[in-house]
Chain A
Amino acid sequence: MTRLWRAKWGLLRLALAAFLLWVVAADTGARLARLQLAAMPDFDYAAEVAYLRAAGRYGEAVMVADAGLASADAEAQPAIERERAATVDEQGSYLRRAKDLGLGALSGQGTSLESLIGAVAADFFIVGDIRDLVIQGGRWVVDGETDELILVLSGVGVATTVAPEVDWVPALLKAARKAGAMTRGLGEWVLRAAKSANKDALLAFCRDVKTLAEKASPGGAARLLRHAETPEDVAKLARFVERNPAGAFALHVSGRHGTDLVKGTARAADDAATLAADRVLIAAAKKGERGLAWHRAGGWRPLARPHLVVGVAKALWKGNAEELAARLAAALDPRGWWLVPLLGAWVVFELTLLAWRARAQAAFRSGLGPATA
């Protein structure tokens, strides 16, 4: 005991060094993942906006541009702003034509409603001519239609008069169905729910679709429905885009991979691991195809596991431990390659110093033995 007490400062230093080494070394996997993400070039928002504009998908183009303006670096901002302005101009001209000449004026006689849905943003559906045009277009789609689901959705349109905020959703669903963007499973569920007059379930579903349309644009929502087999899937996607401002962009970029990941989440939406997984998916999406390839290869897993210290900090302190940890990690990441060896060397130094002193003391004591005895 006496010897231990004598070595108390050495032991304390050793404990401190070992703790710091553990904190930094345990984060190595996550640090490497963060470095990998940081090494990738950012997603080319401006090119994607130009492409979506050229394809007439103005709603999605504006959504991608907004995501870019919120997160791209200062150098990329002017190009994104230019593309966004060009998109809004072209969208305005397209919608003017649609309003002046009706749906038939839109290119592709059979796909007018789909192209209108793809061209607009959800805020066009609040009130006004475009909203009327969409609802009217939804009715027009029924003419000569033999698809049972399309006909049933018209009945849903009547039912949604009790919830006027979603009365355009059936038209969006019809357009999705016509474009082959509604899965068989989801289509069958809508049929069953409509036939059994399950109004509450249908309205909840329509509200989830509305959330998707508001965040991802109506065209983007129709595309996301391609990956949803059940209304629960739609609800999960809606919650994801609701809780993450860049969630719709992440799903646009990640497609089936991202939607499968969101749909596969079994944990609660506010669980720390779920939020961490959300953050990593969004960060990967902001790197485009490369980020997604990295995500698909499982590079995201170390980042989705919060550091144990963060868990302890959350238990002791009610502040935002994740944010603090993220800031600390951002500061330490570039230094990790020498910080870990330094702390490792410190641990070894303290250990050998303790052993060396113990040995020296033992030698001294054995040399002094007869005199003290």
Chain B
Amino acid sequence: MGLFRRAPDRVEHARVRRRWPLVPLALAGAVFGGLLLYMRAVERGAIRSVLIDDAEAARPVAGVAQSIRAMKLVTVEVNTSVTSDSADDSWRGLVQAKVTAPVRLLYGADLSRLSASSVAFSPLEKSWLVRIPRPQRIATEVCTDSEQVEVEVGWMRLRSRAGEYYLGLARRDLSALAREIRLSDEDARFVHATTREQVEALLRKLIGSEARVRVEFDDMLAPADPAAATREVAVHESESPAAAPAPPGAPGGSP
């Protein structure tokens, strides 16, 4: 019986096979299309979520370096005073002249010497680092119109002659003494800090006020005359020796 029962099944199976499975194909096609659209959307969404708008990308380092170079100098003004005195003692009595004048020292960092390698941008810290030369003295101005003079003359000395002569000598030394002024540690720190602040402010104007900027002094870009650099700091008491010879033909000479 079993053998006889199988025959019609085979026939039925063959008939079923002959027909195209249109319904399963249509369903599979629909599932494929739907899933394809869904997967594409998910994939694009995932990638879009990690891509950041690069419209505000960092400026090229070379461009920033060029812009800074164009600024040439940053100046810091230090106000101090210089005192020069001159004296002569003889049997006619003592003559002593002392001049104190305000001095303005101008310091600047020569930004024109910056190279492209002096400016660096960290993609990690999103911060700019600029290495500039240490600030140098670029001018020394003695304000003689605000000077204070003290003259003492002995019993046989005339103020109009001896007093004025030694006052002149003291005045002549003022400029040389002013040029020899070395900044105190505190003033040197002030010059460094102010130069840093000024360069940072300049950079922020170039690359945006929110930018993180660090300014370092580069000793490789050392000034030609190290004596003029603020790095060689020494406290100067601004007192002249009595017979300090005036430097011949010194620029910015005595008043």
Contact = CB atoms under 8 A, between A and B. Distances in A.
A90 B218 CA distance: 12
A345 B31 contact: yes
Contacts of B8: 368, 371-372
Given A290-B50, A341-B31, A372-B8, A356 B124 contact: no
A198 interface: no
B39 A35 contact: no
A235 interface: no
A338 B33 CA distance: 9
Interface stretch (A37-45, A117-125, A159-167, A210-218): A37-45
A364 B28 contact: no
B47 interface: yes
A299 B123 contact: no
B59 interface: no
Nearest to B40: A337
Given A54-B117, A54-B120, A36 B49 contact: yes
A352 interface: yes
Nearest to A40: B50
Interface string A22-42: 000000100010011001100
Interface string B101-126: 00000000000000001111111111
Given A348-B28, A353-B21, A356-B23, A361 B123 contact: no
Contacts of A350: 24
Nearest to A36: B50
A39 B12 contact: no
B129 interface: yes
A345 B42 contact: no
B50 A299 contact: yes
A32 B46 contact: yes
B43 interface: yes
Nearest to B45: A32
A368 B15 CA distance: 13
Contact of B39 (A47, A290, A341, A356): A341
Contacts of A346: 28
B124 A361 contact: no
A35 B40 CA distance: 12
B219 A107 contact: yes
Interface in B68-89: none
B123 A356 contact: no
A53 B121 CA distance: 11
| Ranked 3 nearest A-B pairs via Cβ | A341-B35, A345-B32, A349-B28
Interface of B: 5, 8-9, 12-13, 15-16, 19, 21, 23-25, 27-29, 31-36, 38-40, 42-43, 46-47, 49-52, 61, 117-127, 129, 131, 214, 216-217, 219-220
Given A32-B43, A349-B27, 10 more contacts: A36-B46, A39-B51, A50-B120, A52-B122, A253-B124, A290-B50, A338-B39, A350-B24, A361-B16, A364-B15
15 contacts: A32-B46, A48-B124, A50-B61, A52-B122, A54-B216, A341-B33, A341-B38, A345-B29, A345-B31, A348-B24, A349-B27, A349-B28, A352-B24, A365-B9, A372-B8
